[in-house]
Structure 1
Amino acid sequence: MKSDQTGTIRLAAGRVVRETFEVTTADGVRIFVATKYVPGMENKQAVLLLHPGNGLGHIYWDLPLSGYSVMDYLAQHSFRVFALDSRGFGDSEHPQRVTYDGCSQDVEAVVKHIQRQYAFGKVNLIAMSHGATVASYFVGKNQDNIERLVLIGYQYKKRAGGEKAQQAVVDLVNKGVFYVHEKPSLEPGPEIYDSPPEVLQLYHDLIKQKNPTRTITIRTDEAGRDAGAANIPHLRVPTLIIRGDHDINSQDDNLQCFRDIEAREKAYLEIGNAGHSSAREKTRMVLFRAILGWLTD
């Protein structure tokens, strides 16, 4: 990057390159990882993105629509960006049962690979919804490996959908149903507050094309979820909590999470006119810039 005479930062010109690789976890599960960077641009930090609980996995962070890829945005700002598919999602292996401990092992395997293969001492972690729960579980035991943490739409102690929805998942698992197909929709709903029609259409089309399945057994792992929440008061890692003001899944839960965090360096941001899936909203650039500011502070 270069500065002009006004002091404004101008991004170095360059094409964002995408590569993929796989790692194997300690318990033998194959995990898919995508990475993006700009060749010739010095990557001062590594960022690992953890997706929400949708079947498309890491694609949530890399929508093929101009201005909607978090991976491209951060890569263009000198970060080496990684995004994994948790077990049970996307292109990673789909074991019959998925737990938060297992998903934490996915993160551990990828972080170790980044440190070993790319020579980064620590990794920044950005996590959304399901990914934020995984992050809370992982970081509690691996704080020395994480530079900074961003939790978006984190369901700290509140359960999305309530007891009725939770029981429906339990009933399916008891019947031997461990995976369900993603349901495409062109309508805004609990996840989305104000997203452009072309974004809703793109997401709908991606789901129709890939016909992805996602694990539901993770929803039955209350012990793992509670273990992650129990780590929050002991976090020393600089942590940013973000939620959309129309996110019905987190509500006041995120503010309580912020208050409970032990870290001296922490922040709380509520984005206006945004729902749970804030990376797909019209106001997404508030999210993008907040993440960038937190990582470069």
Structure 2
Amino acid sequence: MSDNIINLEEILFEDHHITTDTPGITLYLRNKRRRGVERFGPEKTVVMVHGATYSSGSLYDVRLGGMSYMDFLAARGFDVFAVDVRGYGHSTRPPEMEQDASLSPPVVKTETGVIDLGHAVNFVLQHRQLDRVNIFGMSWGGTVAGAFSADNPEKVVKLALLAPQWLSDKPIPIDMGGELDAYRLVPVLETKARWLSTAPENARDSLVPEGWFETWAEATLAEDPWSAGKSPERLRASNGPIQDIRDYWRQGRAFYDPALIGAPTLLVHGEWDVDVTIDLALSIFQKLTGAPYRRWVEIGEATHLVLMEKNRLQAFEAIASFFSEEYSPE
């Protein structure tokens, strides 16, 4: 399956800085769509939110093999928006993230992520004069997207989740233990070994095509220029999502009720995902009882970061096809 299937010259990029309910905090919202198309409609509009460590630009818009996830969806005829929650990417960092991390408790918890996704959705609805949009989120972003969709069913056409968080009676790898400061410093260039270690040993050399990790790491570090001067090769990531793992997911307390999601829902999962194991994914899938219909797609030979691996087009296709299906709520 070749990645060279789209004409990047057809893709138009725009970005926006949108206000929030917090003075001094603005959110960065990137947009890609086909050049020359001005009207897409709710069913062809997607708003995306990222996970607990990396921004939307890092996860969804780094061109690997000449194409990003956002490029793919735009080429398929979608008007794609991806927001950086405050503290991530090109959005404003909270004041606690501009000082020594030990001076403050964890910042940017899930409730803040839901609020910021809401700001992004409301901006898109007004900007495009729509009443609803499709929503996508992965990992912690799956929690944010799920909670938003449960709280705002009237704004959601369909919901797609990649490896969303759920209750676990076992340790969750992203929580390394110890006391949590406001934020953590992620050694981006060192993450490849951990990433590959989640796959079987005989599959590691081929999981991420040559050069992709280096391209991704460079783009990811560029999302936080602060690191270049103060902590080279390390990225700031808020610890609020980690605190929520301790307060909710490891305590048997669900942050939201999946049964309240009233939109058709797709769950995508990678076979080798150790961050959100298959039993966790199944558990949340079974609780999506309010969705008019729900679907599970399991991607073989894929980890938590399937969107940046050799089998990523399988996930891209599954999500694009799901959003493209005709659906008219009663």
TM-score, normalisation: structure 1: 0.86
Query: 1:70 Cα deviation (Å)?
Result: 1.1
Q: Which moved more, 1:267-276 or 1:211-220?
A: 211-220
Give the secondary-structure state (helix, strand or coil) at the position aligned to 1:219.
helix
Query: 1:119 Cα deviation (Å)?
Result: 1.3
Deviation per CA, 1:26-63, whole angstroms, max 9, x where unpaired? Answer: 23431111001112235242101111222444331011
Q: 1:190 to 1:147 in 2, by over 3 A?
A: farther
Give the secondary-structure state (helix, strand or coil) at the position aligned to 1:165.
coil
**Whole-angstrom distance in 1 between the partners of 2:169 and 2:196:** 17
Aligned to 1:273: 301
- Give 5+ residue unaligned stretches, structure 1: 1-9
Please tell me whether residue 128 in structure 1 is matched to residue 125 in structure 2: no
Aligned to 1:18: 13
How many residue pairs get matched?
Answer: 283
Aligned to 1:198: 211
- AA in 1 matched with 2:26: R
Q: 1:36 to 1:159 in 2, by over 3 A?
A: farther
Please tell me whether residue 189 in structure 1 is matched to residue 217 in structure 2: no
Aligned to 2:238: 215
**Whole-angstrom distance in 1 between the partners of 2:26 and 2:153:** 24
Quick one: which of 22, 30, 44 aligns to 1:27? 22
Aligned to 1:43: 40
Q: 1:161 to 1:198 in 2, by over 3 A?
A: farther
| Equivalent pair of 2:58/2:220 in contact (CA under 8 Å) | no
Aligned to 2:112: 102
**Whole-angstrom distance in 1 between the partners of 2:173 and 2:51:** 20
- AA in 1 matched with 2:312: R
Q: Percent identity?
A: 23
Q: Which moved more, 1:34-43 or 1:284-293?
A: 34-43
Q: 1:203 to 1:13 in 2, by over 3 A?
A: closer
Deviation per CA, 1:192-241, whole angstroms, max 9, x where unpaired? Answer: 76111211121222244444311112211255667765321222211001
Aligned to 1:4: none
| Equivalent pair of 1:190/1:276 in contact (CA under 8 Å) | no
**Whole-angstrom distance in 1 between the partners of 2:8 and 2:88:** 34
- AA in 2 matched with 1:199: W
Aligned to 1:172: 180
TM-score, normalisation: structure 2: 0.78
Deviation per CA, 1:144-180, whole angstroms, max 9, x where unpaired? Answer: 1011001101121137853993532xx032xxx4342
Please tell me whether residue 294 in structure 1 is matched to residue 322 in structure 2: yes
Query: 1:261 Cα deviation (Å)?
Result: 0.7
**Whole-angstrom distance in 1 between the partners of 2:210 and 2:282:** 31
- Give 5+ residue unaligned stretches, structure 2: 97-106, 228-234, 326-330
Give the secondary-structure state (helix, strand or coil) at the position aligned to 1:196.
coil
Q: 1:13 to 1:216 in 2, by over 3 A?
A: closer
Give the secondary-structure state (helix, strand or coil) at the position aligned to 1:221.
helix
Q: Which moved more, 1:233-242 or 1:156-165?
A: 156-165
| Equivalent pair of 1:100/1:218 in contact (CA under 8 Å) | yes
